[in-house]
Structure 1
Amino acid sequence: MASFLIPFQVLFFLMLVPLQSSIVFASLAAAAPAKEAETLLKWKASLDNKSQTLLSSWLGDSHCNWVGITCDEAGSMTNLSLPNYVEGLRGNIPSEICLLKSLELISLSNNRITGSIPQEIGRLSSVSNIFFYDNNLSGPIPTSIGSLHNLTALDLKLA
């Protein structure tokens, strides 16, 4: 029977690779909430001035403390809930909002949102509830909604 001696450098490398991988994954996990905040701030900047003022609590990268935002224990955003928002948010639903992979609920109902629902909405694989009714949305309902396997409630009213 042959025996193998593993040089120390190889053994050290084999022990180091899993450690580096976990550091990379931890860094990626920590970066995700910052990316979510960046996405929301870009959306806020695309809204009209009055809507931006309504979202004045949306400052910095601690988005879990912002109005209408709920996060899980890891700091990932699970709910974007801004229904009936004071005098109504005005603007479009940007496709970037569909990058928020941890979203389980998105509620923008009873506002003054215009334009169409982004086709990319099908990327929200965790979403179970979408409420966009009583806005000024137009265009077709994206076929990608059919790929949302966790979706249990969908309430739309398009102009």
Structure 2
Amino acid sequence: MAIKLFLLMTLLSHVASSFSEWCHPQDKMALLQIKKELNNPIILSSWKSNTDCCKTSWNGVTCFPSNNRVSELTITDDNNLITSKFPLSVGNLSYLESLSFYHLPNLTGPIPIKSISELFKLKTLIITRTGMSGTIPNFPAQMEQLTYLDLSSNHFSGKLPYYLYKLPKLGVISFHDNFLTGPIPPSYGYFNNKNTPTLFFSHNQLSGRLPISLSRLINPTVIEFSYNKFEGDASMLFGSNKTTREIYLSQNMFKFDLGKVELPKTLTALEVSHNQIYGKLPLGIENLYPLNVSYNNLCGKIPKGGYIHLSDVTSFFHNKCLCGSPLPSCK
């Protein structure tokens, strides 16, 4: 009798263990519905109802080992076979921390903010190189864990969302290569300064003057505003008290005295070509590479030393009166 009881308990233990390894029924149901909403693409053929979405190889699915809830979902399609709208059932993956949809040129429609805003634990949202369009919504403040927001290389248009500054942990905002218009909102100067986000806004149709509130941003690692229609002063992006490492402002209509700015001591790269910037080259510019100040109205002598020898004539030409190597010598 004792032997039978031992065998029964062992069997029940194995059964309980196997059940504990299965992904959560709600997550499995959500994933299968996502597959259906994406029109059952062949790249998701591993998503089968009779297999375990956590313990078997469901393409693009990662689970927490502690509770077998889905933690990451990545869907990409190099063969461009997915043709659908963004799947609304993503919002049912309540433990999701990372969501990535990329290289999906036939994924269309707007961002379903009502669905995505249900993901309170989400830290990373990547929607890039898709056919999605419409405006970029204001992500609600309750998505307070969001740290990485990449919506680059899509067809989004309209203005920049005003209330992003209310997301306290946001560390990267990448909206480059879209069709965004209008100015940068003054609210973008009020991000949490303990974690000022890196800003990638290049290759859009953004315009107007930069808000003076951007002077409050102390530590964005990269500022990338190139290839837009900005104008006026951009000197508030500089300052010896900042910890910015790279600044890219090329192909705009900025007009300010570069000689009066103080470069961040941490700055390693500066590209401001094709603007209307004037004045002398600022102190410390010889320590920057890459460096490009061409097609402006700058004057004065190009300093020696540092990394200047790494920059060729194309980094300096087409200015009002710059001189010195690698340009002709000063008279």
TM-score by length of 2: 0.36
**Quick one: distance in 2 between partners of 1:147 and 1:114?**
26
**Quick one: distance in 2 between partners of 1:94 and 1:46?**
6
Amino acid at match of 2:71: T
Report the CA distance between 1:107 and its aligned residue.
Answer: 0.5
Report the CA distance between 1:143 and its aligned residue.
Answer: 2.0
Following superposition of structure 1 onto structure 2, how do residues 13-32 of structure 1 map, counting pairs within 5 Å? none
- Answer yes or no: is 1:154 the counterpart of 2:149: yes
Instruction: Give the aligned partner of residue 15 of structure 1.
Output: none
Q: Give unmatched runs, 5+ long, in structure 2.
A: 1-19, 156-331
Instruction: Give the aligned partner of residue 42 of structure 1.
Output: 33
Partner-residue secondary structure (3-state), 2:26? helix
Q: Which structure: greater strand fraction?
A: 2
C-alpha contact 2:71 2:98 (8 A) present in aligned 1: yes
CA separation of 1:146/1:140 partners in 2, compared to 1, >3 Å: closer, same or farther?
farther
Amino acid at match of 1:86: D
Instruction: Give the aligned partner of residue 55 of structure 1.
Output: 44
Following superposition of structure 1 onto structure 2, how do residues 10-159 of structure 1 map, counting pairs within 5 Å? 33-48=24-39, 51=41, 53-60=42-49, 62-64=52-54, 65=56, 66-73=58-65, 74-83=67-76, 85-88=77-80, 89-112=82-105, 113-120=107-114, 121-157=116-152, 158-159=154-155
Report the CA distance between 1:90 and its aligned residue.
Answer: 2.5
**Quick one: distance in 2 between partners of 1:102 and 1:131?**
17
Q: Give unmatched runs, 5+ long, in structure 1.
A: 1-28
Amino acid at match of 2:53: H
Which structure has the larger Rg over C-alpha atoms?
2
C-alpha contact 2:109 2:132 (8 A) present in aligned 1: yes
Percent of matched pairs sharing the same residue: 27
Q: Which structure: greater helix fraction?
A: 1
Amino acid at match of 1:90: T
CA separation of 1:35/1:156 partners in 2, compared to 1, >3 Å: closer, same or farther?
same
C-alpha contact 1:122 1:146 (8 A) present in aligned 2: no
Report the CA distance between 1:33 and its aligned residue.
Answer: 1.3
CA separation of 1:31/1:56 partners in 2, compared to 1, >3 Å: closer, same or farther?
closer
Count of aligned residue pairs for this structure pair: 128
C-alpha contact 1:110 1:133 (8 A) present in aligned 2: yes
Higher relative contact order (CA 8 A, sep 6+): 1
Amino acid at match of 2:73: L
Partner-residue secondary structure (3-state), 1:42? helix
**Quick one: distance in 2 between partners of 1:36 and 1:94?**
14
C-alpha contact 2:43 2:59 (8 A) present in aligned 1: no
Q: Deviations over 1:111-137 (max 9, x none)?
A: 132111112211111111011011011
Aligned-residue RMSD, C-alpha: 2.3
